[in-house]
Amino acid sequence: MLPVVQAFMAAHQLPEVTVLADAGMMSEQNLKDLEDAGLKFVVGARIPEVPYQVAQWQRDHPGEPIGDQQVFIQPWIMGPNTDQRKRTIFYQYRADRARRTLHGIDQQVAKAEKAVAGQAAIKRNRFVQLSGGTRTVNRELEAKTRALAGLNGYVTNLDAPTAEFVIGAYHQLWQVEKSFRMSKSDLKARPTFHHKRDSIEAHLTIVFAALAVSRWLERTTGWSTRKIVKTLRRYHTIQIQAGDHVVTAADPLPADALQAITKIQTAAATH
């Protein structure tokens, strides 16, 4: 990962960058390598247990629900004295996230109870506990996951970070995820298989160029790539040559399509 980040910085002449990634993308060694190279990061944090700050708040406010979007901050120093790493962990509670998570837990526990009762086949279910041929519902795990519902963690090595910046920056990852959720069917492109390095690199170059163009079009028009393709593909311009004369026939554009094309033409002219 580090060579990729450094090559990106060199190509775009960036004096510094902040790497954003979810918890599954970055190992502890990767984070240390970024730090040793003088780089900053904001990474999703795994939450195996209820954080101390959250548990303390709940002890101080018995019976009171955590407020929506409430943030808990935990300064953290890790590693031996000879190699200490100063980091900050932010925990944010979202009521809507908790609602969705608890709904999912209810469904999984209901399936686990049916499996334990022999009313349904045992499928992959983390709440089904097998011990010595006996099936039980893992109530301890259920209680733990319910206690963590609604919490998300974010860890950073930024100096004097704020919750607004760290959480806001991390949530920009959806832009990356959005790009990779766009399928080739949106562009009506067929899958291509390559075996030679030059062919692979050429194909990747074309794909990323198409991605860059599509994202530029989205920002310029305010439309999604799917809407652009679906709306404009039905309109055509045809040139018909009759002797020495060339006649241009075009489908009339509706107001919204004409407005989008005008935005594209204006933006292209200013670059």
Q: Which residue has 């593909």 as its token pair?
A: 233
Q: Is the dihedral of CA 97, 52, 45, 143 positive or negative?
A: negative
What are the C-alpha distances in Å from 159 to residues 31, 134, 156?
Answer: 15, 52, 9
Q: What is the pLDDT along the chain (271 residues), one digit of tens a residue?
A: 888 889 999 999 999 889 998 887 778 888 888 899 999 999 999 899 999 999 999 999 998 999 999 999 999 888 778 888 899 999 999 999 999 999 999 999 999 999 888 888 777 888 998 887 788 999 999 999 999 999 999 999 999 999 999 999 998 888 777 776 665 555 565 666 767 888 888 887 888 888 888 889 998 999 988 888 888 888 888 888 888 888 887 778 888 888 998 999 998 888 7
By the 8 A CB rule, do 154 and 45 touch?
yes
How many residues would you count in the chain?
A: 271
Cα–Cα nearest to 130, from 147, 111, 149, 115:
115
pLDDT at 101: 95
pLDDT at 9: 92
Q: Which two tokens stand for residue 266?
A: 């204006």
pLDDT at 250: 77
Q: What is the spatial distance between Cα 109 and Cα 140, in angstroms, rounded to a whole number?
A: 12
Q: What is the spatial distance between Cα 157 and Cα 139, in angstroms, rounded to a whole number?
A: 36
pLDDT at 132: 78
